[in-house]
Structure formats: C-alpha cells, structure tokens
Structure 1
C-alpha cells in the first residue's frame, strides 16, 4: 500500500511506515495513492463481519500483511457487533457502541493497537493523542498494559462528560492523562507541535492515535460494509448515510468505503454549532471560529484534522460533491431531535440525534437512510436524562469507572510545559 502525504506529496510511505509515523512532514496526513474498487461487492456483503473485514483490509493494505496474520488481528480487534436498528420505516441506526468503551472508536483503537504491536517489534513507543471525548477511552483500553508502550492523552478540562473522562483517567499504569485548560483544538495543537519537535519524537518514539493515524481510519471502513450487509438487496440501491462529524475521520472512512465499491450513494457530514465545514461548503471560505461548547462535545472541533482527506476525495471526484452534504444543528434543535427520536422508541444521545437530523434534512423519500450512533447514551447520562426526563440504565463498565478516582494531572495549554512533563515522566 502506497500512501502520500497530502501536504508534501513527495513523501510517500508504506502502510507500516504510515502507522509508525502517524503524522507526515509539515503536519500532513497520509492518504492512499490509489483506491481500487472491489470486484464482487455482493459476495463480500454475504460474508460474516470478521471475515469480510479482513478481506476489506487486505484489499486496502495489499501484501504488506500475510492474510493469516491479518485474520488474527481482525479477530482480536473486532470481537463485538455493529448492528443496525430500524427506528422508522426505511431509516436505520448503525449502533457502534457495543465495544469495551461503548463508542465507535473501539474499532479503530483496537486495530491500531494490533498494528503497533506488530510493526514496532518491541521498540519503545509513546502514543500522544488529543481527545474530545471517546478517543481517549478507546485508545487507553486498547493499549492498556502493553509492553514498551506509553499512552499520553490530552483532553479539554471540564469539557467532556464525566463518564467519558473516567473511562480513561482512572486506569493508570502506562496510561498518562492531562486535563488541559482550553478547547480540544488547543489539545490538538499541542499534539501537532510535539510532532514537529525532533527531540521529543526521537527521545519518546512518538506516535499518534487520533484519526490522523491511517490504521484507525481503515478499520472504520469495515463497519459501513457491515451496515449495508444487514439491508435487503433492494434497500442497498439508494443508501444515504448521515455521520455526526467533528474531526471528520468517520465520514472520511465512509467515503473510502464508497470509493472501493460499497453502494453508498449520498453522505451527510452533520456537525453541531462548530460549523467550519458547512460554512466552507456554502461559501468557499475556510474560516474556523473559536470552538464552542456543545451537548455533543465529541464534535466540538473547529479545525478538523481529517478535512484534507475528505476534500481531496471531493476535489478528485473519488466521491461526488453533488452527493455530499454538510449542515450544522443548533443546541436547541439537538434537544428537540432527541425528544423526537425518543417518541419513535429510540434513545439517542446528542451526537446520534445530530446524525438523525442531518438525514431528515438531506435524505430523499426513496432513499434508505442510515444514521450513526457513535456512543452509548449512558456516556452522556446527565444531558440525556435532563433532556428526555427519564432514567438511563448504566452499563457495568461505566459504573465501575465512575467509582474510581481520576488520576489525570492539570496543565495549561502551553507546549513547553507539556514537553517538560513528558520528559520528567517518560524521558
């Protein structure tokens, strides 16, 4: 698999190199040079989830990984389901919260852990990542207790739910967490700064587990195939998928799935009030505003890292601009939609409600709609119960985490201060 740095196209690397590097020169993200279509998609959709996922990843990655090795990696990483649930006629929710940390990022985090373990071959690595909510837990649990791996997680202090936070700040061991005074974009800026610091990169063996990392992105392609596989043959003809979008990695994976042959006809990348991309699509002016706090905090991102990948596919025609929609949903409307979906008999946390609303705005009557539930409602217990005025059952994994002490340290959004902490703890 040949991957190109979208900022500096002369930097071309293999899949294993991209996984180990994480971020390319000049903060560029890596993207496949070619996305060839799979020949018999119907036969692929007839396969079981794990076997199909291994075939998809083999198609994307190529011959870098032996098929039996990749089979084993997928079997360990994807040991939980991704069901679709019919919410109303011809409209389905793809539930991606059945993994160990109850969020879609378990798929990418666990596959990345498999890749790092294989490619680093005992060399020391430090995973440095920023989280707006769910990445932290998924990555922390995927790498917890792994030899020669330290994980450093930065999150915006007070701006993610308590349940999200406790899932990763209570682990300790090789998981090191810092609550940053600032926004997710501030955390992300610190991560990017570290990747430009040769001393930090060489001394700590730096890597990133954000959706910057190509291994996470490719893993996410697989569950879109699983969603379509659960539809009838006739329903597959006109599928419209709505993805709640913050860093735009999830919708990027959907576009890759479509590019290699999955019959996704239209995509809605639906944001909260942090509407950089919808405004850009409407005006052509890229002008990120200060990040606003929202009920859908995992999407509180004004400068999405994966937008260069999405824009590259749109500009090259890999996915048609005419079939790509992006709109924003206000805080008040998010709450209204949560109530609306609840009346249909389904409990949607804020991110899921935003995806549902994007589908309602953009879907045509004849299309089959799929909207993504990226996290379990209980991860946003306070907001969901407050809006819906009903009690939620708490999954055991969350109950256990909430009863443990937070081990995170507080820091300012200052790179020199972070660097000093990293060297003191890990150097």
Structure 2
C-alpha cells in the first residue's frame, strides 16, 4: 500500500519511507491511500491481540520491505494484555491499556514503531534521532521502547511542571541513547518545536530526524489492534458492536478506533472525552475549528490546544457537517474529574487515572441521555502514575505495578531548555 499526505491526496509514499520521515514532505500527515475492508469472519483464526494486529495491518504493509517482518513485529510489540473487563454497571466494560512497561496505552504503539525502526536502520546508517513532544505518557513509552537500540537516539521534550512527578521521573530515568529536555512552556510549545524541526531541511541535512508522536504512522496503525481485538471478542460473545469512550488530547488514540471502525470492525458509537481544553468540544458543538493555547488540568496528558491528528480526522471526514454528526465529544472539567475519581464509578471501588476519569464522566453523561448500548471505557494509564491526585481522593495508597516501580527506583535527570527553536537546533547539532 502507498500513503498520501493529508495536504496532497495525489502524493504517494511507501510505508517505510513514511515511518522514517515522520511528517509528509509538504508538512502534512501520512494517511493510507485506501482503507481495507474486513468482516469479523476475517479474524476467525486470530484470538490473540498480536494475531489480530498482524491480520489487520497486513494490507497496510503489503509491498513494503517490512511486510515479511510484520508477524514478528506484532509478536514483540503486543506481548502484554489489553483486557476488556466487564463492570457490574449495565452493559459497561473497561478496556485496560496500562499493562505495558510504562503503564500507559502508548506502550503498544511505541514498541511497534521501535520494532519497525530497528529493522529499517542498519549499522552503516547515520544515527537517527527520534524527536518526541510529550504531554506526559508518550515520552516514557518511546524511551522504554527505544532504550539501548543501536543507531537510534531519542530526544524527549516535555513541558516543565506540567507532567506528574512520576511521569517526569520516567522521562528522565533511562539515559544511554535517551535524552529528556524539560522545556519552559506548554505541550503545544514542545509540539511546535518538534514539527518545525521535522520540516526543517537545513537542519535535517546535519541531523537525521524522525518522529514518534501520534503523527507517526508507526504509532497510529498498531493502536487500531486493541480496538479490533476487544470489539471482535465482544462481537463473538454477544453479537453486538462495542462502543468506545476514549480520553483524547492529540486525537491519536481516538483516530485509531475511528480507522478500525472505518475498516469494518464491529465497533459501535465512538465518543471522545476531552478535559477543559475545549477546542474539539467547541468544534463539534458547531464553532469553527480554532486552536488555542492549552490550559493545565488534572488530566495533563490531554492538555492540548492544537490536536495534530485533527488534520487526519478532516481527511477522513472532509465535510464538517458529516464529521460533527459522526461523534459525540464531551469536555470534562477538573471538578468533575475529582468527583469521578472519588466516586469510583457509582461506588464500585474502581480507581481511575484523571484521563480515564474523563471517559467515565463522559459515559455517565451518555447514559443519562439515554444511551443504553454496550460501551467500553478506555483506561489509558494506571492511576499510580498520578498518585498525588488520586490517592487523596480515594483515601488510600495506590501501589504502582512492578514495571513502573522498577523505573521509579532508577535515578532520573532532564536537561533544561527554553521554548526556543534556535536552542533546540543547537542542542541537536551538538549531539552529532
């Protein structure tokens, strides 16, 4: 399969080139030239998430040098579970995506991308620097996935003081080929710097660069797999499609579910839960799309004022009226996040991270509005990553999973950097 740019439907790029480049040459985002179509019967032989991933992604890899490696890449990336947990609240489930090495959903895509990049780089290639802007969880997942890989470096930019202490520790605890930069500014500033660098041909003549943010196809495509796997399992048990309520900031995780549904998987309605950064909520309520400076919230990984993947969403739904009709979007403020964590889903004792709490609150709104179908709340991170928020609200300690605890035991360091493009260029060139 070939891939086009969101800004030029006639352009054509092979998958490996798109993975290495990150952004399309015109500054747009890579998108499939066509979308394959599946039925549930196509996955009859695939029970594991790795098996579903390999079957689902095969058309996207067809004709690419990585095609023969796809099964192995999926086996490496999807070697931990994504359980769909039934909850004792009518037709409600919890899709737990936090069982990977950094306790966040981004482990799936980051490990998949690392597997691809490792196979595309050879010992004679110049080192490739992976630039990552993170609002909390992406950077740690990418750092863990790429740590120690030959000829691959990672530079993570995160907004100083706007990630949780445990998130910040994860970002700086790897060393070796991983560098963390704590930027004076917001996530949007970090994202702007990364996009500018990836579009800077003069810089790229000196430093080979790529991306591991959700703009990367290597992150986006594999994230379709856990939606496909959970929806197929639910379909086999009940014969009904499964809807998803997805916490979202940069729209990457949500877009993965949207693409999986567009490919014919048995996915029902898709609702998006944002925090007090209301760009998406305002657009879906009828306003013009208008990025704005992000504001800091309890759900910090969703503190995005200019969601990159909105460009892909508009590619899939070029008519704004049709786009607004396709999804529900609910903005959840910090007060509601606190109440939702404290309540634990109708007093059932479930403990949620602030991002998952946004999805819980959004589903409660949907239920009050009469939505009776099967829904899955997408749990994007383990609550122990946000212990300073969660523990006072639930009144007890939330032990971190072992993989997270091991990372927290390491020393951590991040270099300070101004929100300045010239400073980033100087830093990158000095590393060569």
Instruction: Please give the TM-score of this superposition, normalised by the length of structure 2.
Output: 0.94
* SS of equivalent residue, structure 2 residue 254: helix
Deviation string 1:278-336 (CA, Å, 9 cap, x unpaired) is 1011123122232111110000001011111112222369x864331112001101111
Deviation at 1:366, TM superposition (A): 3.2
Matched, 1:253 2:256: yes
* SS of equivalent residue, structure 1 residue 242: strand
Query: Equivalents in 1 of 2:20, 2:422: separation in Å?
Result: 24
Query: Equivalents in 2 of 1:10, 1:313: separation in Å?
Result: 15
Matched, 1:18 2:21: no
Quick check: 1:41–1:262 contact (8 Å CA) kept in 2?
no
Q: Which residue of 2 aligns with 1:104?
A: 105
Q: Which residue of 1 aligns with 2:384?
A: 378
With over 3 angstroms needed to count, the CA separation of the structure-2 counterparts of 1:193 and 1:232, relative to structure 1, is closer
- Once the two structures are superposed, the pairs formed by residues 38-187 of structure 1 within 5 Å of their partners are 38-41=38-41, 43-44=43-44, 47-65=47-65, 68-87=68-87, 88-122=89-123, 123=125, 124-187=127-190
Query: Which of 353, 363, 372 is the equivalent residue of 1:349?
Result: 353
* SS of equivalent residue, structure 1 residue 268: strand
Query: Which of 412, 420, 424 is the equivalent residue of 1:414?
Result: 420
Deviation string 1:128-182 (CA, Å, 9 cap, x unpaired) is 1100011111100111011111100000001101111212201111001100000
* SS of equivalent residue, structure 2 residue 305: coil
Query: Equivalents in 1 of 2:144, 2:235: separation in Å?
Result: 35
- Once the two structures are superposed, the pairs formed by residues 194-205 of structure 1 within 5 Å of their partners are 194-205=197-208
Q: Which residue of 2 aligns with 1:265?
A: 268
Query: Equivalents in 2 of 1:133, 1:41: separation in Å?
Result: 38
Which ranges of structure 2 fall in alignment gaps of 5 or more residues? Answer: none
Deviation string 1:201-228 (CA, Å, 9 cap, x unpaired) is 2322100000110011000000001211
Matched, 1:405 2:406: no
Instruction: Please give the TM-score of this superposition, normalised by the length of structure 1.
Output: 0.95
Deviation at 1:51, TM superposition (A): 1.5
With over 3 angstroms needed to count, the CA separation of the structure-2 counterparts of 1:173 and 1:51, relative to structure 1, is same
CA-based RMSD: 1.9
* SS of equivalent residue, structure 2 residue 95: strand
Quick check: 1:236–1:368 contact (8 Å CA) kept in 2?
no
Query: Equivalents in 2 of 1:169, 1:142: separation in Å?
Result: 14
* SS of equivalent residue, structure 2 residue 98: coil
Deviation at 1:25, TM superposition (A): 2.7
Q: How many residue pairs get matched?
A: 425
With over 3 angstroms needed to count, the CA separation of the structure-2 counterparts of 1:422 and 1:67, relative to structure 1, is closer
Query: Equivalents in 2 of 1:356, 1:376: separation in Å?
Result: 14
Quick check: 1:7–1:25 contact (8 Å CA) kept in 2?
no
Q: Which stretch shows the higher mean deviation, 99-108 or 281-290?
A: 281-290
